[in-house]
């Protein structure tokens, strides 16, 4: 009896975690470069009350045993790196990666973080920075007298300065063997972990890397309808688990009432 | 003493165990690849007949939970667009390598680790035809319905998908894993492999809620039966023998 209580409690906890994740996905429905997450579950251990194949007589044996499971547990929050929708902004400093790869960002402590959000800005020194003011790696400085910025699909950045076009730098991208192993640190940034492996740095458009496009942003890959449907099922699953707790409690009360 | 009071208590125990099975099913409504358990009851007299044959005194009554049967119907397959989510359509299991030996799973929520090996959520390598499936650093990967993994159009490896042989079966170990129980090795399966999809749990919440109500009411009836027989005994012990 108590097993049912605890199994249902694990079910409620699992659904709670799922709603937390869905809520974060929905909150980031308009976050540039956001990648949605999904919680994956596993069944917990089984208590084998009677093993399959136990002898019932010298000639016969049971065909199936009795196994009672102990509920569920969350095992991973899987990041889904599907391409988000494109939004044309016509802002020359907005960039999008079509395909695999991440922009590299130098954090204030000197380490490198990775992002899919290409909404870059120019700071007072003419350097390309993220919305938080972190420098791009390798750093790109736009000259003061530049009038037009052009980003090529291979990451070449050129400007028109003093009537002639000059190349001022090249964007580099990083990719990972296992991007799902990256760790979210907020602010649209990811950092490498032992699970993701080390970053492989390369030029956009070369093998394994996506190409760049200018004046376009990659939006969140959250689909509202999908998340809403997931939220409805999570809420109902939470409810049904709470009903199990209520029923198990009723049964315990009945057993307690046997003694008059 | 009345034998019925024992039988009614048996029924309470069986209903409570069945409720545990139902609770586990309900807790796993969102576990990918989960196969629900069905409790099967058996009357006590039939067990006694099995063991003691005809020459024994026949006791009519009582019930026990005889088995939990793993339901092998196909779970709902949903599109996830994640290339390493792989669903099995038809009877079969993926083989994975765990520290305690080869285990089997229907949860195809796989991923690549830093060594380009295909692994489960717990990091157990997924097995192909030549041991763990390891992919090359580069190349376009696609998976066809027969379980073949193609890299740049050429056959690279094939998922080891197996089904139970004659007299064998898969036993749940938890954490989405099954152990094979039977003589020899499980046989190759012809289940279809669908990339970008996951097989969801086979638990149907409506069926489980109905089962839960049935177990509760069965438990309740058995409890009433215990009480009624207690009243009868009370009468027999305290009233019939009462000396005016």
pLDDT digits (tens, 9 = 90+) for B122-146: 999 999 999 999 998 777 888 999 9
Q: In degrees to the nearest 10, what's the CA dihedral of B73, B78, B81, B85?
A: -30
Segment 47-66 of chain A within 8 Å of chain B by CB = 49-50, 52-53, 56-57, 60, 62-66
Q: Which of A38, A244, A253 to mutate to test the interface with B (most CBs of B within 10 A)?
A: A244
What pLDDT shows up at residue B126? 96
Are residues B37 and B13 part of one domain?
A: yes
Residues B8 and B99 in one domain: no
What residues form DSSP beta bridges with B151? B141, B154
Q: Which residues of A touch B82 (CB under 8 A)?
A: 78, 80, 82
Burial of residue B6, with CB atoms counted within 10 A of its CB: 0-12 exposed, 13-18 middle, 19 or more buried: middle
Same domain? For A109 and A232 the reply is no
Asked if B160 and B89 sit in the same domain, the reply is yes
Tell me, what's the pLDDT at B48?
Answer: 59
Exposure pattern of B122-149 as b/e (b: 16+ CB <10 Å)?
A: eebbbbbeeebbbbeeeeebebeeebbb
Residue A233: which CATH number?
A: 1.10.287
- Closest CA of chain B from A162, distance in Å: 43
Please give the residue that has the higher pLDDT: either A105 or A259. Answer: A105
- Are residues B89 and B121 both part of a single domain? yes
Residue A125, pLDDT > 70, answer yes
Asked if A180 and B32 come within 8 Å (Cβ–Cβ), the reply is: no
Domain that includes residue B65, residue range: 4-72+203-240
Q: How confident is the model at residue A62 (pLDDT cuts 50, 70, 90)?
A: low
pLDDT above 90 for B213: yes
Average pLDDT (B214-222) is: 93
Q: Do both B208 and B194 map to the same domain? A: no
- CB-based contact B20 A67, cutoff 8 Å: no
Q: What percent of chain A has pLDDT over 70?
A: 96
Shared domain for B22 and B85, answered yes or no, is no
pLDDT tops 60 at residue B54: no
Work out the average pLDDT over A78-88: 90
The pLDDT confidence band at residue B178, using thresholds 50, 70 and 90, is very high
Mean pLDDT value across residues A48-65? 73
Percent of chain B whose predicted confidence (pLDDT) is above 70: 91
The nearest alpha carbon in chain A to B70 belongs to: A64
Its domain, for residue A132, covers 86-218
Report the residue of chain A nearest B114, measured CA to CA.
A197
Of all residues in chain B, the one with the smallest CA distance to A193 is: B114
B3-24: per-residue pLDDT in tens? Answer: 788 888 989 999 999 999 999 9
Our count of domains for chain A comes to 2
Chain A nearest-CA residue for B110: A78
Mean model confidence pLDDT for chain B:
87
CB contact under 8 A, A4 and B66: no
Q: Does B66 touch chain A (CB under 8 A)?
A: yes
Whether residues B207 and B190 fall in one domain = no
Indicate whether B102 and B187 sit together in one domain. Answer: yes
Asked if the Cβ–Cβ distance from A236 to B32 is below 8 Å, we say no
The average pLDDT across B213-238 equals 90
Check pLDDT > 90 for residue A156: yes
- A248-257, B37-46, B140-149: least confidently modelled range: B37-46
Q: Is A14 on the interface with B (CB under 8 A)?
A: yes
Please give the Cα distance from A140 to A129 (Å, whole number). 9
Say what the pLDDT of residue A164 is.
86
Domain assignment present for A108: yes
A183 to chain B, any CB pair closer than 8 A? The answer is: no
Structure tokens at A88: 């044309």
A150-158 average pLDDT score:
92
CB contact under 8 A, B67 and A41: no
Considering only the beta carbons, identify the residue of A44, A53, A207 that sits closest to B174.
Answer: A44
Among the partner residues B22, B31, B112, nearest to A72 by beta-carbon distance:
B31
pLDDT in tens, B56-91: 555 566 788 888 889 899 999 998 878 889 999 999
Residue B11: phi and psi, rounded to 5, are -65, -35
User: Which pLDDT score is estimated for A39?
Assistant: 93
**Beta strand B111-112 with B118-119: parallel, antiparallel or unpaired?**
antiparallel
Which segment of A3-7, A51-55, A187-191, B132-136 scores lowest on mean pLDDT? A51-55
What are the residues whose beta carbons fall under 8 Å from the beta carbon of B243, sequence distance 6 or more? none
B189 and B84 within one domain: yes
Residue B41 confidence (pLDDT) above 70: yes
| Interchain proximity B16–A76, CB inside 8 Å | no
Asked if the model's pLDDT at residue B55 lies above 60, the reply is no
Are residue B66 and residue B104 in the same domain, yes or no?
no
Per the structure, the count of domains in chain B is 2
Nearest to B23 by CA among B222, B209, B223: B209
- Look over chain A and give the mean of its residue pLDDT values, rounded to a whole number: 90
Which uninterrupted H or E stretch holds B238?
none
The nearest alpha carbon in chain A to B112 belongs to A178
Contacts of A75 in chain B (CB under 8 A): 121-122, 175
ipTM over the 0.85 cut-off: no
Residue A1 confidence class, pLDDT cut points 50, 70, 90? low
Domain co-membership, A18 together with A98: no
Question: Which residues in chain A are contacts of B230 at CB distance < 8 A?
Answer: 258, 260
Residues B208 and B188 in one domain: no
| Segment A167-184 mean pLDDT | 90
Residue A98 inside a domain? The answer is yes
Closest alpha carbon within chain A to B105: A42
């Amino acid at each position: 009896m108590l097993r049912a209580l605890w199994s249902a409690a694990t079910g409620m906890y699992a659904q709670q975690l799922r709603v937390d994740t869905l809520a974060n996905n929905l909150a980031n429905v308009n976050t540039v470069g956001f990648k949605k997450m999904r919680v994956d579950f596993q069944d917990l251990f089984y208590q084998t009350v009677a093993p399959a194949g136990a002898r019932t007589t010298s000639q016969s044996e049971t065909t199936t045993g009795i196994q009672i499971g102990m509920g569920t547990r969350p095992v991973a929050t899987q990041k889904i790196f599907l391409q988000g929708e494109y939004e044309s902004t016509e802002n020359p400093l907005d960039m999008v990666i079509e395909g695999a790869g991440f922009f590299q960002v130098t954090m204030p402590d000197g380490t490198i973080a990775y992002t899919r959000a290409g909404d870059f800005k120019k700071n007072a020194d003419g350097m390309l920075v993220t919305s938080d003011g972190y420098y791009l790696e390798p750093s790109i400085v736009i000259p003061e007298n530049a009038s037009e910025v052009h980003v090529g699909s291979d990451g070449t950045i050129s400007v028109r300065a003093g009537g002639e076009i000059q190349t001022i730098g090249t964007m580099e991208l990083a990719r990972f063997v296992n991007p799902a192993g990256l760790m979210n640190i907020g602010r649209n940034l990811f950092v490498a972990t032992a699970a993701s492996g080390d970053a492989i740095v390369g030029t956009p458009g070369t093998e394994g890397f996506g190409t760049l496009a200018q004046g376009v942003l990659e939006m969140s890959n959250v689909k509202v309808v999908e998340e809403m449907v997931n939220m409805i099922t999570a809420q109902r699953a939470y409810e049904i688990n709470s009903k199990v707790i209520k029923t198990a409690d009723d049964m315990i009360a009945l057993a307690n009432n046997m003694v008059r | 003493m009345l034998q019925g009071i024992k039988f009614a208590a048996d029924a309470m125990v069986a209903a409570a165990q069945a409720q545990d099975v139902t609770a586990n099913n309900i807790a796993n409504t969102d576990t990918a690849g989960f196969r629900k358990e069905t409790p099967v009851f058996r009357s006590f007299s039939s067990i006694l007949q099995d063991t003691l044959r005809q020459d024994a005194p026949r006791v009519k009554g009582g019930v026990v939970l005889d088995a939990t049967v793993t339901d092998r119907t196909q779970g709902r397959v949903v599109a996830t667009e994640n290339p390493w989510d792989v669903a099995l359509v038809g009877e079969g299991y993926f083989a994975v390598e765990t520290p305690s030996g080869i285990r089997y799973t229907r949860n195809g929520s796989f991923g690549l680790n830093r060594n380009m090996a295909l692994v489960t959520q717990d990091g157990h390598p997924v097995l192909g035809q030549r041991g763990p499936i390891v992919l090359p650093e580069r190349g376009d990967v696609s998976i066809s319905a027969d379980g073949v993994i193609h890299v740049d159009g050429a056959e690279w490896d094939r998922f080891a998908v197996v089904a139970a042989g004659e007299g064998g079966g898969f036993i749940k170990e938890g954490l989405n894993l099954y152990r094979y129980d039977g003589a020899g090795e499980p046989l190759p399966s012809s289940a279809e492999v669908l990339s970008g999809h996951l097989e969801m749990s086979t638990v149907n919440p409506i069926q489980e809620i109905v089962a839960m109500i049935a177990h509760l009411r069965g438990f309740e009836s058995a409890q009433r039966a215990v009480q009624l027989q207690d009243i009868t005994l009370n009468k027999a012990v305290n009233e019939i023998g009462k000396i005016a």
